[in-house]
Amino acid sequence: MSDLVKYSIEIPINSSVNVLYKRLSTPSGLAEWFADNVNLKNNVFTFFWDDSDQSAKILKKKSNKFVQFKWLDDEEKESFFEFKIQVDEMTSDVSLIITDFAEDEEDQEEQTMLWEQQIQNLKMAIGS
Protein backbone atom coordinates (compact mmCIF):
# COMPACT_ATOMS: atom_id res chain seq x y z
CA MET A 1 0.00 0.00 0.00
CA SER A 2 1.25 3.43 -0.89
CA ASP A 3 1.38 6.48 1.33
CA LEU A 4 -1.40 8.81 0.35
CA VAL A 5 -1.24 12.59 0.31
CA LYS A 6 -4.06 14.23 2.25
CA TYR A 7 -5.19 17.57 0.87
CA SER A 8 -7.98 20.09 1.36
CA ILE A 9 -9.67 22.60 -0.91
CA GLU A 10 -11.59 25.56 0.52
CA ILE A 11 -14.20 27.24 -1.66
CA PRO A 12 -16.54 30.10 -0.73
CA ILE A 13 -20.19 29.18 -1.33
CA ASN A 14 -23.03 31.70 -1.41
CA SER A 15 -25.63 29.53 0.29
CA SER A 16 -27.34 28.90 3.59
CA VAL A 17 -25.77 26.16 5.67
CA ASN A 18 -28.97 24.10 5.64
CA VAL A 19 -29.34 24.19 1.83
CA LEU A 20 -25.67 23.35 1.33
CA TYR A 21 -25.72 20.46 3.82
CA LYS A 22 -28.67 18.84 2.03
CA ARG A 23 -26.69 18.96 -1.25
CA LEU A 24 -23.76 17.22 0.47
CA SER A 25 -25.53 14.55 2.49
CA THR A 26 -28.62 13.30 0.65
CA PRO A 27 -28.93 11.16 -2.49
CA SER A 28 -31.12 13.72 -4.23
CA GLY A 29 -28.78 16.58 -3.28
CA LEU A 30 -25.65 14.72 -4.43
CA ALA A 31 -27.37 13.75 -7.70
CA GLU A 32 -27.77 17.46 -8.50
CA TRP A 33 -24.02 18.07 -8.77
CA PHE A 34 -21.76 15.18 -7.78
CA ALA A 35 -23.01 12.26 -9.89
CA ASP A 36 -25.56 11.55 -12.60
CA ASN A 37 -27.64 9.57 -10.10
CA VAL A 38 -27.27 8.49 -6.47
CA ASN A 39 -29.04 5.67 -4.64
CA LEU A 40 -29.03 4.96 -0.92
CA LYS A 41 -29.63 1.46 0.40
CA ASN A 42 -28.58 0.03 3.79
CA ASN A 43 -26.50 3.15 4.55
CA VAL A 44 -24.51 2.71 1.32
CA PHE A 45 -24.56 5.47 -1.28
CA THR A 46 -24.11 4.26 -4.86
CA PHE A 47 -22.98 6.98 -7.27
CA PHE A 48 -23.57 6.57 -11.00
CA TRP A 49 -21.65 8.33 -13.78
CA ASP A 50 -22.22 7.41 -17.45
CA ASP A 51 -21.28 3.70 -17.59
CA SER A 52 -19.69 3.39 -14.15
CA ASP A 53 -20.73 3.33 -10.53
CA GLN A 54 -19.00 3.45 -7.18
CA SER A 55 -20.29 2.90 -3.66
CA ALA A 56 -19.42 4.67 -0.42
CA LYS A 57 -20.61 4.63 3.14
CA ILE A 58 -20.83 7.51 5.56
CA LEU A 59 -18.15 7.24 8.24
CA LYS A 60 -19.23 10.29 10.23
CA LYS A 61 -21.60 13.19 9.92
CA LYS A 62 -22.92 16.09 11.93
CA SER A 63 -25.97 17.93 10.70
CA ASN A 64 -25.13 21.24 8.97
CA LYS A 65 -21.41 20.76 9.79
CA PHE A 66 -19.78 17.91 7.83
CA VAL A 67 -20.18 14.53 6.18
CA GLN A 68 -17.35 12.04 5.67
CA PHE A 69 -17.51 9.21 3.11
CA LYS A 70 -15.37 6.11 2.52
CA TRP A 71 -15.28 4.42 -0.88
CA LEU A 72 -16.08 0.74 -0.36
CA ASP A 73 -13.55 -0.43 -2.96
CA ASP A 74 -10.71 1.61 -1.42
CA GLU A 75 -8.15 -0.54 0.39
CA GLU A 76 -6.43 2.40 2.12
CA LYS A 77 -7.71 2.41 5.69
CA GLU A 78 -7.07 6.10 6.39
CA SER A 79 -8.50 7.46 3.15
CA PHE A 80 -11.88 9.15 2.98
CA PHE A 81 -13.42 12.20 1.42
CA GLU A 82 -15.14 14.83 3.48
CA PHE A 83 -17.36 17.84 2.94
CA LYS A 84 -17.09 20.34 5.80
CA ILE A 85 -19.12 23.52 6.07
CA GLN A 86 -17.31 26.42 7.69
CA VAL A 87 -18.98 29.68 8.68
CA ASP A 88 -16.84 32.73 9.37
CA GLU A 89 -17.82 34.09 12.80
CA MET A 90 -17.21 37.72 11.82
CA THR A 91 -18.77 37.85 8.35
CA SER A 92 -21.08 34.78 8.36
CA ASP A 93 -19.55 33.84 4.99
CA VAL A 94 -19.98 30.14 4.19
CA SER A 95 -17.14 28.02 2.80
CA LEU A 96 -17.02 24.40 1.75
CA ILE A 97 -13.86 22.53 2.68
CA ILE A 98 -13.28 19.31 0.76
CA THR A 99 -10.72 16.89 2.15
CA ASP A 100 -9.52 14.01 -0.02
CA PHE A 101 -6.48 11.81 -0.61
CA ALA A 102 -4.25 11.44 -3.66
CA GLU A 103 -1.48 9.01 -4.58
CA ASP A 104 1.00 11.77 -5.48
CA GLU A 105 1.23 15.46 -6.40
CA GLU A 106 0.21 14.85 -10.02
CA ASP A 107 -2.84 12.87 -8.91
CA GLN A 108 -3.67 15.64 -6.42
CA GLU A 109 -3.58 18.26 -9.20
CA GLU A 110 -5.94 16.18 -11.36
CA GLN A 111 -8.30 15.52 -8.47
CA THR A 112 -8.29 19.19 -7.47
CA MET A 113 -9.32 20.18 -11.00
CA LEU A 114 -12.11 17.59 -10.91
CA TRP A 115 -13.32 18.84 -7.52
CA GLU A 116 -13.28 22.43 -8.78
CA GLN A 117 -15.47 21.41 -11.73
CA GLN A 118 -17.83 19.54 -9.42
CA ILE A 119 -18.07 22.60 -7.15
CA GLN A 120 -19.03 24.72 -10.16
CA ASN A 121 -21.88 22.23 -10.71
CA LEU A 122 -22.80 22.55 -7.02
CA LYS A 123 -22.85 26.34 -7.23
CA MET A 124 -25.11 26.16 -10.28
CA ALA A 125 -27.45 23.72 -8.48
CA ILE A 126 -27.88 26.06 -5.50
CA GLY A 127 -27.87 29.26 -7.53
CA SER A 128 -24.63 30.52 -6.00
Span 20-79, pLDDT tens digits: 999 999 999 999 999 999 999 998 999 999 989 999 999 999 999 999 999 998 776 678
Q: What is the DSSP letter of 15?
A: S
- Read off φ and ψ for residue 2, nearest 5 degrees: -90, 160
Residue 128 pLDDT grade (very low, low, confident, very high; cuts 50, 70, 90) = confident
- The structural architecture, per CATH, of the domain 5-126 is 2-Layer Sandwich (3.30)
Question: Three-state SS for 27?
Answer: helix
> What are the residue ranges spanned by the domains of the chain?
5-126
pLDDT at 37 (0 to 100): 95
- The Cα–Cα gap between 76 and 10 comes to 24
